[in-house]
Structure formats: structure tokens, C-alpha cells
Amino acid sequence: MSDPSVPRSPDELVAALRGLSHRYWGTHPFHHRMHAGELSERELRVWAANRWYYQCVLPRKDAAIISNCPVPDVRRGWLDRIVYHDGTADGDGESGRERWLRLCEAVGLTRAEVLDERRVVPGVRFAVDAYVTFARTKPWVEAVASGLTEMFSGHLMQRRVGDMLANYDWIRRDDLAYFTDRIEAVSGEGESTLDIVVRYCGTREQQDKAIAALSFKCDVLWSMLDAIERAAAKE
């Protein structure tokens, strides 16, 4: 048995983090139904409107990480994530927010009802707000580690594009630009995030907290889908 006071090797830490992949929301029953083409248009609208709340607070989460991080290189690199979601001041290029709004409109939502969050259910709001609070109040490297769900998302996004185009004939490839644009980017972000966590989690305690942070993020995402699934069943 290994000494719990001895830090894991980089390979051991990476394996422990990747070992949480079964907790990622890609394994949730709601996502299984989505990929199988079993969701109604109404259920897709509930999903898109509620997932919007998660998408629109990601820049705030990333800004919280930057505000707590004392390492200039990490702060500079992390700024790209905020720009991706919020876009640039001169509007050069479409933002992640706009790409998600395009998907919302494709499934039958109006921009107004998405932006005013009237369809966001309490369980989703609570889970997402808890994630932002985590990023704001925990040590910066733990907040970074919580974002390592990026390691699991690229493959899921790729599969989602194919399955949605095959099973929902009113959705066009252009409507899925959020996913098609993120597939390559998220893989690079996942690797850079993993490098940061391995580099700055040098003690066993820090490593344990990084693993716990990723576990917490998986719980946040799973809780979101639980709430979305319940809301879709009631509509």
C-alpha cells in the first residue's frame, strides 16, 4: 500500500483524474436519450434554455480564477477562455454565447426567453451558482482542477454533433457551431489545464484536493441534468 503522505507521481495524478471520467455527465440517462434521438423538441428546448445559464456564467467563473491566481503566465493564458465565451469588444468573430443562442433558436426558443432566464429551473441555477462560488472561494489551483472535465468533453461533443444531425432533422450543422467550434479548442484547453494542475499540485494534500475539485464539478454537471430531466418531464 502506498504511503498517503507521499505525493503521487505525475502519471499517477493524471490517472486518478482521468479515472473520474465515468462520473462525467456524458453517462447521464438524459444524455443517452439525447444521443439516441429520443428527446422531443420540447425536451430539447428545456435542455438548451437551462444549459444557457451554465454557458453564460463560465466567463465569471474564469474571471474568478484569474482574480485569485498569483501566476502571470497562468492568468494570461486563462484570458482566452473569457474572450471565447464573451467575444471581443470589436465583435471580431462570433462568441461562444452567440453560438449557443443560435442553437437555442434552432430548437424553437426565442432569444428573449433565453436571455431573461425565465426557463431556468431552481436546481440548475443552484448547481451553476455553486460552481461559480467554488471558483471564487477556493484556492485557484483547485478551481482550475475543477475545470478538468475538459478532458472528457471533446469526444462527447464530436459524438453529439453526429448523433444530433442524424436524429433531429430540423437541426442543421450550422446550428451546432458551438460544439463543432469547441471540439478542437477544448482538447487543447484540457491538456493545458492538466499541465497546470500537475505542475502546481506538488503535495499529496494538494493532489487530493484537485481530485476532489474535479469530482465536485462532475456532481455539478450531473445535478444540472437531473434538474433538467425533471423539468422536461413536467412541461
Reported as a single tens digit per residue, the pLDDT across 105-135 is 999 999 999 999 999 999 999 999 999 999 9
Say what the pTM is.
Answer: 0.93
The pLDDT assigned to 89 comes to 81
Residue 48 φ then ψ, to 5°: -65, -40
Confidence band for 19, pLDDT divided at 50, 70 and 90? very high
The pLDDT assigned to 39 comes to 97
Confidence band for 1, pLDDT divided at 50, 70 and 90? very low
Q: Is domain 10-234 given the CATH code 1.20.910.10 in the classification?
A: yes
CB 161 within 8 A of CB 179: yes
The pLDDT assigned to 153 comes to 86
CA–CA dist 51, 229 (Å, integer): 12
CA–CA dist 139, 187 (Å, integer): 24
Return the percentage of the chain with pLDDT > 70, whole number.
95
Is residue 70 scored above 90 in pLDDT? yes
Alpha helices in the chain (DSSP H): 10-18, 29-35, 41-68, 72-86, 96-106, 111-115, 122-137, 140-146, 150-167, 177-200, 204-234
In the predicted model, what is the mean pLDDT of residues 153-159?
87
CA–CA dist 133, 131 (Å, integer): 5
Is residue 93 scored above 80 in pLDDT? no
Question: Which has more pLDDT, 92 or 40?
Answer: 40
3-state secondary structure of 181: helix
